[in-house]
C-alpha cells in the first residue's frame, strides 16, 4: 500500500502501489532529484514558496496517514521552504529589506503559546498546536527577512492563483455534473482541516483559502496588459467566487465580498471597474445555476447561526476561568466541553468544537497576552501596507480584508492561508524597498493637459 492517502468528500481513496519494497526503491531513486531541487532552492527559494502556496488550498487532502498535523503535502513543502530560506540566508548576505514589526510580534505570540503548556488542560494538544504555529511563523519570519524582487512577488502570486484556480474550476465541474448533490454534507469542500490536522473536511476552510487567490487573480485581470492574459485571470476570478459560493460558507462569501469591495475601490482611481463588477455578477449567475438547492437556500434564506452563537456563549462562560492566562494553546474544544459539563443548561449542537472566532479562540486558549499580540500583529500589518503605493497595496489589502472578515466566523490563526496573506504582504513590501524605481513606474499618474504657448 502507498503511504499517501487522498481524501475526498465522499470517501477516502487509497493510492495502491506494487508494495512497500517498490516504494523504498522509488524513494531512493528520487533522492538525487530531491537533493538537486533543494540545492536549487537554496539559490532561490521563491519557487519552492510558490509551489507551497499552490497546494495550500487543498489543506490536508493529500497526507501521510497517522502523521498528525505534519503529514500533509503542504506541510512537508512548508518545512522544506523553511529549510531552504534558512540556508539561503546563511549563504547570502542580507540586502535591503523592511519587514516592519509584525514578524517580531509573531515570534512573541509563539512564545506565549508555548508558555501555556505549563497550565494547559490538554498538554499533548497544546504541544501539537504550538508546533504547528511555530512552523507557520518560522516560514513567515524567514520570508520577511529575505530580499526579494517584484519578479519574486509575481512568481509567488502565480503559485497562489494556480492552486486556487484548480480548486475553483473543480468546484464548477462538480456543480455542472451534479456531483455535489443536495445534502448538507455534500457542500463543495477541497481542504481537510482542523488546524490543518486533517480531522474534518470543512467547507469554511476551503472558502477562506480561496480569498487570497481571488485577490491576486482579480488584481491581475484589472491591470493593463494583453487582452488574452486579462481574460484568463478574469475566468479564474469568476471560478474562485463561484467556488466560494458552492462551499455554502456564509463567512467565506462575505469575505469574498470584502475582497471585491477593496479592489473595486481601487479601480475607481486606476480603472478596471467594469471588470470588478462583472466578476461577482457572472460568478453568482453560474453558481446559482449549478449549485444544489440546499447551498442556495443556506446563503440566501437561512438565518441560523449553525451553532456558532452557542459556541461563542460557551466560550464566554469559560472566560472567567481561562481568559487571563489561557486554557492552553489549541484547547478551546476542551474548554468548551468543560463548560457543557459544568453548566448543563448551556445549549450546544456539537460538543468538542473549535471557537469559530479568531479573537474568542485566541483569548480563551492563550489569554489576554495572546489576544493583545494578535491585535498588534493585524494592526501593524495593516499599517505597513499603507507604506505601499495604491497599485501595490490593493491586492494584499483586499486579501487581508477578506481574512479579517472570515476570522469572525473561523479560528484562522492555525491555518496556512492566514500566514500566506501576511507573507504576500511582506513580500510586496520588501520588493518595493528593493526596487523603488519599478514601484514608482506602476503608480497611477495624473496627466496634465499641455500648456498653450503665448504668441
Q: Residue 152's pLDDT is what?
A: 92
pTM of the model: 0.84
275-325 residue pLDDT tens: 667 777 888 888 888 888 888 887 877 766 667 887 888 888 888 888 899
Q: Residue 286's pLDDT is what?
A: 85
Closest alpha carbon to 48 in 182, 130, 206, 156: 156
What length does the chain have? 455
Percent of the chain whose predicted confidence (pLDDT) is above 70: 73
Closest alpha carbon to 315 in 333, 293, 291, 301: 333
Listed in sequence order, the residues at least 6 apart from 335 whose beta carbon sits closer than 8 Å to its beta carbon are 121, 315, 318, 322, 327, 364, 365
Q: Residue 455's pLDDT is what?
A: 46
| Contact status, residue 84 vs residue 35, Cβ threshold 8 Å | no
379-434 residue pLDDT tens: 999 999 988 888 888 999 999 999 999 999 999 999 999 999 999 999 999 888 76
Across all residues in the chain, what is the average pLDDT? 80
Mean pLDDT of 28-34: 56
| Contact status, residue 340 vs residue 310, Cβ threshold 8 Å | no
**Residue 326: strand, helix, or coil:** coil
CA dihedral of 20, 24, 27, 32, whole degrees rounded to 10: -170
219-267 residue pLDDT tens: 998 887 788 888 899 899 999 999 999 998 889 999 999 999 898 887 7
Listed in sequence order, the residues at least 6 apart from 171 whose beta carbon sits closer than 8 Å to its beta carbon are 188, 190, 239, 242, 243, 246, 247
Listed in sequence order, the residues at least 6 apart from 235 whose beta carbon sits closer than 8 Å to its beta carbon are none
Give the confidence band of 269 by pLDDT, cuts at 50, 70, 90.
Answer: low
**Residue 193: strand, helix, or coil:** strand
Phi/psi-derived region of residue 84, left when phi > 0, alpha when psi is between -120 and 50, beta in every other case: alpha
| Contact status, residue 217 vs residue 91, Cβ threshold 8 Å | no
248-257 residue pLDDT tens: 888 999 999 9
- The segment with the largest mean pLDDT, out of 64-73, 85-94, 377-386, is 377-386
Give the confidence band of 333 by pLDDT, cuts at 50, 70, 90.
Answer: confident
In the predicted structure, residue 184 carries a pLDDT above the cut 60 = no
- The segment with the largest mean pLDDT, out of 20-29, 63-72, 296-305, 440-449, is 296-305
Name 59's bridge partners: 192
| Contact status, residue 255 vs residue 229, Cβ threshold 8 Å | no
Cell reading at 437: 524605481
Listed in sequence order, the residues at least 6 apart from 123 whose beta carbon sits closer than 8 Å to its beta carbon are 117, 328
Give the confidence band of 443 by pLDDT, cuts at 50, 70, 90.
Answer: very low
Q: Residue 313's pLDDT is what?
A: 81
Query: In whole angstroms, what is the distance from residue 75 CA to residue 46 CA?
Result: 16
Higher pLDDT, 352 or 216: 216
Query: In whole angstroms, what is the distance from residue 92 CA to residue 87 CA?
Result: 9
Amino acid at each position: 500500500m502507498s503511504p499517501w492517502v487522498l481524501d475526498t468528500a465522499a470517501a477516502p481513496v487509497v493510492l495502491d502501489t506494487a508494495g512497500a519494497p517498490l516504494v523504498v526503491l522509488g524513494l531512493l531513486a528520487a533522492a538525487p532529484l530531491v537533493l538537486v531541487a533543494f540545492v536549487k532552492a537554496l539559490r532561490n527559494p521563491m519557487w519552492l514558496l510558490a509551489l507551497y502556496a499552490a497546494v495550500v488550498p487543498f489543506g490536508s487532502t493529500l497526507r501521510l496517514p497517522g502523521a498528525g498535523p505534519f503529514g500533509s503535502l503542504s506541510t512537508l513543502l512548508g518545512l522544506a521552504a523553511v529549510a531552504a530560506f534558512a540556508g539561503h540566508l546563511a549563504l547570502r548576505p542580507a540586502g535591503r529589506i523592511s519587514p516592519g514589526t509584525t514578524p517580531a510580534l509573531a515570534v512573541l505570540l509563539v512564545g506565549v503559546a508555548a508558555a501555556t503548556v505549563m497550565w494547559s488542560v490538554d498538554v499533548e494538544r497544546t504541544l501539537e498546536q504550538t508546533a504547528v504555529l511555530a512552523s507557520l511563523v518560522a516560514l513567515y519570519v524567514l520570508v520577511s527577512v529575505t530580499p526579494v524582487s517584484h519578479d519574486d512577488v509575481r512568481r509567488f502570486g502565480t503559485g497562489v492563483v494556480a492552486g486556487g484556480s484548480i480548486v475553483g474550476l473543480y468546484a464548477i465541474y462538480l456543480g455542472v455534473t451534479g456531483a455535489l448533490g443536495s445534502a448538507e454534507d455534500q457542500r463543495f469542500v477541497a481542504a481537510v482541516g482542523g488546524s490543518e490536522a486533517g480531522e474534518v473536511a470543512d467547507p469554511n476552510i476551503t472558502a477562506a483559502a480561496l480569498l487570497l487567490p481571488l485577490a491576486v487573480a482579480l488584481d491581475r485581470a484589472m491591470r493593463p496588459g494583453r487582452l488574452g492574459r486579462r481574460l484568463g485571470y478574469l475566468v479564474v476570478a469568476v471560478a474562485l467566487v463561484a467556488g466560494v459560493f458552492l462551499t455554502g460558507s456564509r463567512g467565506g462569501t462575505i469575505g469574498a465580498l470584502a475582497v471585491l469591495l477593496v479592489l473595486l475601490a481601487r479601480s475607481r482611481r486606476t480603472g478596471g471597474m467594469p471588470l470588478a463588477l462583472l466578476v461577482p455578477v457572472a460568478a453568482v449567475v453560474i453558481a446559482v445555476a449549478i449549485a444544489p438547492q440546499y447551498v442556495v437556500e443556506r446563503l440566501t434564506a437561512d438565518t441560523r447561526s449553525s451553532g456558532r452563537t452557542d459556541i461563542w456563549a460557551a466560550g464566554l462562560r469559560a472566560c472567567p476561568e481561562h481568559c487571563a492566562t489561557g486554557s492552553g494553546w489549541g484547547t478551546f474544544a476542551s474548554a468548551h466541553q468543560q463548560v457543557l459539563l459544568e453548566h448543563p443548561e448551556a445549549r450546544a449542537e456539537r460538543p468538542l468544537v473549535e471557537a469559530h472566532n479568531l479573537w474568542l479562540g485566541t483569548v480563551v486558549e492563550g489569554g489576554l497576552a495572546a489576544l493583545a499580540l494578535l491585535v498588534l500583529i493585524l494592526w501593524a500589518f495593516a499599517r505597513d501596507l499603507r507604506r505601499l503605493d495604491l497599485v501595490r497595496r490593493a491586492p494584499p489589502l483586499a486579501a487581508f480584508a477578506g481574512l479579517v472578515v472570515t476570522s469572525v466566523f473561523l479560528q484562522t490563526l492555525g491555518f496556512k492561508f492566514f500566514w500566506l496573506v501576511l507573507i504576500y504582504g511582506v513580500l510586496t513590501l520588501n520588493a518595493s524597498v528593493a526596487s523603488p524605481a519599478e514601484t514608482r513606474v506602476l503608480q497611477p499618474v495624473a496627466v496634465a493637459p499641455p500648456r498653450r504657448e503665448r504668441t
